[in-house]
């Protein structure tokens, strides 16, 4: 993901409300599976890390991204934004960088 695409996703995420909260028990297999299902349907989700969670939000973001095969768009404070392109239900069209070869 390039910086232009990341900026575009950040803009889309700014209007989203968190749909998951990670609390005291941190990342359980159940919440990881629920996040995986949601990100497969929505492509872009926001997660809130509650104050009673002792884990670092950046570490949680990296772990969730790895387990769900998604990408961390941003972590601001205790808010995490994740993106995963859907193969079957594509909703978000990322901007392409002009003049750049892959």
Range of the domain at 68: 3-83
CATH number at residue 10: 3.30.110.60
Q: How many domains does the chain have?
A: 1
* Residue of 94, 86, 92, 74 whose CA lies nearest to 36: 86
Which tens digit of pLDDT belongs to each residue from 30-71? 999 999 999 988 999 999 999 999 999 999 999 999 999 999
Residue 14 lies in a domain: yes
Which tens digit of pLDDT belongs to each residue from 73-89? 999 999 999 999 887 77
Instruction: Give just the sign of the alpha carbon dihedral 63, 45, 3, 69.
Output: positive
Residue 100 lies in a domain: no
Residue 15 lies in a domain: yes
Which two structure tokens, joined as six digits, stand for 81?
């934004």
CB 80 within 8 A of CB 47: yes
């Amino acid at each position: 993901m390039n910086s232009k695409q990341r900026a575009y996703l950040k803009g889309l995420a700014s209007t989203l409300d968190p749909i998951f909260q990670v609390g005291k028990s941190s990342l359980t297999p159940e919440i990881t599976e629920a996040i995986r299902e949601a990100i497969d349907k929505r492509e872009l989700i926001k997660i809130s890390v509650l104050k009673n969670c002792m884990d670092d939000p950046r570490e949680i973001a990296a772990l969730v991204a790895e387990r769900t095969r998604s990408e961390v768009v941003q972590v601001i404070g205790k808010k995490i934004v994740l993106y995963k392109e859907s193969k079957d239900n594509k909703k978000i069209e990322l901007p392409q960088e002009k003049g750049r070869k892959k």
